[in-house]
Structure 1
Amino acid sequence: MHLPAALRHRDYRLLVSASATSALGNAITPIALAFAVLDLGGSATELGLVVAAFALTEVVTSLFGGVLGDRVSRKLMLEGSALGSALTQVVIAAALIGGWATIPMLGVIGALNGCLSALSNPSSRAMTRLTVPPGDLGSAVSLRALLQTSAATVGFVAGGLLVATVGPGWAIAVDAATYAVAALCFAALRVAHSVPDGERGSMLADLGDGAREVFAHRWLWLLIGQALICHLVWSGAQGVLGPIVIGDAFGREAWGLAMGTLMAGFVVGGLLCLRWRPRRLLRVGTVLLSMTALFPLAMALSDHLWPVLAGAFLHGFGLQVFDVFWDLSIQQNVDPDKLARVYSFDAAGSFVARPLGLALAGPIALAVGLHAWLAVVAAVMGATALAALFSGEVRRLERRTTLSATAPAASPSPEPAAAR
């Protein structure tokens, strides 16, 4: 059996090892944090505010992270963020295990974690094309997504089990260990980061260049706007209402199982993307994106666990296929010198409304009913995805077999797996 071509490259192997390890820990922490707040006597509103603290600082910092990712060493950005995140997670774990944690403390440290995540995320996503030649980029994007979601699948299931058996503190300690492993992998990278020749402008000027690149592609800003609306409603459904509705109805382990099933859908979608290469990739991806509405719809309407798990699986499947095709569209059509900034606008634009959604999910759900609000969430998610297909650019954007001259990828020399 032949390994995917992208795995022939040493730096790519290190990059995906780090990202997959982090994904494992990052899947555990949201489950652990949710039940840590509830165990401390927190309400749905307080849980939403704690999660919103992370999301708000992540959004605010992401544009800054994108500028730095195009100015300084992306490798350095990734190392520093992973080490900082390891330390903050150790503090949270120690506080929960030692019994001196408070809800405000979790919110403050969560905000710091949001900053660290935002500083590294644009660099991490832009790094893929620096570790493989252009011909292997499609395989690299699909395989990285598959490995990350496979690791997260294990993490979600492990998160529910760890919380139920040893408690949230020890679960978050596992996340701290995964960040330490990721930092070691990033430190071993041998990827040079080149910057454009000539004098650089101010950071605001760099942000303006990134914004112009985003608005030069209608499909790009349109789908970022769709994600903004979607995350406004879905963030609270997943981060606040889901653990409460599913936890109360079926037990805490059931929410971890639902998240694991969602990630299993991601894995199946990722496996499909390794082989399936539709010509009009965004049209196909956006149609499947509408399937994400099935998870909140099942939580709203079903009294049984299996429809919830089925909805979670289809949610993950559709979102993964869309994400792979979305990421590949950006990698193939955006100027590489602006890639980190475009990814930062993608993150900021997509998630700017997430803190508001997290903070308001509890009060709105209490006012209208948890199940009624989940039904509204499902309707918004499905309708906005299908509405994006009215754009001709979304329907007609085609997969490239080679990158355009304006968007060259790095071309590292292929290296056998056992070469070094």
Structure 2
Amino acid sequence: MAPLRGRNFRFYFASRFANTLGSSMASVALAFAVLEVTDDDPAALGLVLAAHTVPMVVLLLWGGVLADRLPRTLVLQVSNLTSAASQGAIAFLVITGAAELWMLIALSAVHGVVSAAGMPAMAGILPSLVPREELQRANALMSLVRSGLVIVGPTVSALLVVGVGAGWGLAIDAVTWLVSAVLLGFVDLPAREPRETGASTWSELREGWTYVRSTQWLWVVVLAFGVLNAIHAGPWSTLGPLHAKDTIGEEGWGLVLSAEAVGLLAMTLVMLRVPLQRPLLWGTLGVSLLGVPIFVFGAHPSLLLLVVVAFVAGAGTEVFSMGWNLAMQENVPDEMLSRVYSYDMLGSFVAMPVGQIAVGPLAIAFGSGNVLMVSGAMYVLTCLLVLLSPAVRRLPRVSTTSAPEPAAP
């Protein structure tokens, strides 16, 4: 818990706790709000979700430039305040019964635009909040919050939807964005060195791209995760629930997903105390375990076996998450960290719709079990190919402890 002794990290931790709580509830509340407004039209829900995702993906690189140019706390505050306004407007429209589909689409698009600016800023701020030697514990604490609330938040939101209506769940989300913005106002970071004046957005994007393509461990992992996330979003997340209906049932599928989340949470607790050396070597080996439940689900959908391998896969996924954040935060220069994270996010998100769209026709043509088996094998193979890169296998932890001193308690 050492990072929490620093004033800056304490307030940032509280800020992230607030908006993660709201966001973990919002997805359930928004889904039921859209279905309520459109008389249970699933296509309408897809339009609202796409209205958030598309502008976010399109503008991510611009958001990375913005977060590297301006104080990241300022970018986050503006993003959070705008998110509070857009989510609050949706909540008001749903509660009063005035909501129409086009309004929800427009407000979701606003939320997507500001998320494109906030996400790279959020990813790049942590190294400025704690000393270098506390980075792993700080990342683990943030992951602990995320993992715990992702387990609890949807259940609380579902109870709110049943008890008082979906609009009130969205209203709570809006309040948490506002609270998060206020708490960020207490984070006092030293001014960064002034950037070169007159540089265009395109030149700064080219600078970030040049760094990515000239850093082997970076582009190898980002390229691989284009494939890995397409597999996870398609065969596992999209085809998985459908395959579960014919095998382990909806309740069984819920248990498998819960086991994965618990494994992630358990490994987070381990990472609070056990130093992670060779972050990308162990991280890539860890995330390769996610291919095992995908393969097992297709080959032999035994509920007990799936729960066990999903728990192990969740633990391995957390090892990668920790290793990747440490590799980025310790090796990428602070002045371009948000831009590099934005390229990473773009590479992660852009192929996910491909997996989601392609998996249906493939399952019809070859059978869902066969698609899952091949996908699980491809997942593991892709991770092993990543490890052919010496830069990935050999990347060490940075031993220096130089870092901004946290503000006094």
| TM bucket normalised to smaller | 0.7 to 0.9
How many angstroms does 1:398 deviate by?
Answer: 0.9
**What is residue 321 of structure 2 aligned with on the other side?**
323
**Is the 8 Å Cα contact of residues 220 and 386 (structure 2) preserved in structure 1?**
yes
Q: 1:24 aligns with which of 9, 21, 24?
A: 21
Q: What count of residue pairs does the alignment treat as equivalent?
A: 407
Moved more, 312-321 or 206-215: 312-321
- Partner amino acid for 2:405? S
**What is residue 112 of structure 1 aligned with on the other side?**
110
Q: 2:404 aligns with which of 398, 410, 416?
A: 410
Corresponding residue SS for 2:387: helix
Superposed, 1:140-289 pairs within 5 Å as: 140-163=138-161, 168-236=166-234, 240-241=238-239, 259-289=257-287
Cα separation, partners in 2 of 1:369 and 1:107, compared to 1, 3 Å: farther
Distance in 1, matches of 2:214 and 2:358, equals: 34
How many angstroms does 1:133 deviate by?
Answer: 2.2
Corresponding residue SS for 2:347: helix
Distance in 1, matches of 2:368 and 2:177, equals: 35
Distance in 2, matches of 1:145 and 1:379, equals: 28
Q: TM-score, normalised by structure 2?
A: 0.86
How many angstroms does 1:399 deviate by?
Answer: 1.2
Cα separation, partners in 2 of 1:183 and 1:218, compared to 1, 3 Å: same
How many angstroms does 1:124 deviate by?
Answer: 1.1
How many angstroms does 1:286 deviate by?
Answer: 0.5
Deviation sequence 1:43-75 (CA, Å, 0-9, x none): 4x6655543443322221111111011111211
Corresponding residue SS for 2:183: helix
**Is the 8 Å Cα contact of residues 49 and 358 (structure 1) preserved in structure 2?**
no
Distance in 2, matches of 1:97 and 1:252, equals: 31
Deviation sequence 1:182-228 (CA, Å, 0-9, x none): 11211222123414354241111111111122123211111111111
Distance in 2, matches of 1:102 and 1:251, equals: 35
**Is the 8 Å Cα contact of residues 276 and 323 (structure 2) preserved in structure 1?**
no
**What is residue 391 of structure 1 aligned with on the other side?**
389
How many angstroms does 1:167 deviate by?
Answer: 5.2
**What is residue 8 of structure 1 aligned with on the other side?**
5
Superposed, 1:295-374 pairs within 5 Å as: 295-297=293-295, 300=298, 306-360=304-358, 373-374=371-372
**Is the 8 Å Cα contact of residues 67 and 206 (structure 1) preserved in structure 2?**
yes
How many angstroms does 1:324 deviate by?
Answer: 0.8
- Partner amino acid for 1:382? V
Moved more, 220-229 or 152-161: 152-161
Gaps of 5+ in 2: none
Moved more, 320-329 or 87-96: 87-96
Gaps of 5+ in 1: none
**Is the 8 Å Cα contact of residues 261 and 312 (structure 1) preserved in structure 2?**
yes
Corresponding residue SS for 2:406: coil
- Partner amino acid for 1:321? V
Q: TM-score, normalised by structure 1?
A: 0.84
- Partner amino acid for 1:381? Y
Distance in 2, matches of 1:128 and 1:313, equals: 28
Distance in 2, matches of 1:109 and 1:250, equals: 38
Cα separation, partners in 2 of 1:22 and 1:300, compared to 1, 3 Å: farther
**Is the 8 Å Cα contact of residues 53 and 355 (structure 1) preserved in structure 2?**
no
Distance in 2, matches of 1:358 and 1:15, equals: 34
How many angstroms does 1:368 deviate by?
Answer: 5.6
**What is residue 67 of structure 2 aligned with on the other side?**
69
- Partner amino acid for 1:29? A
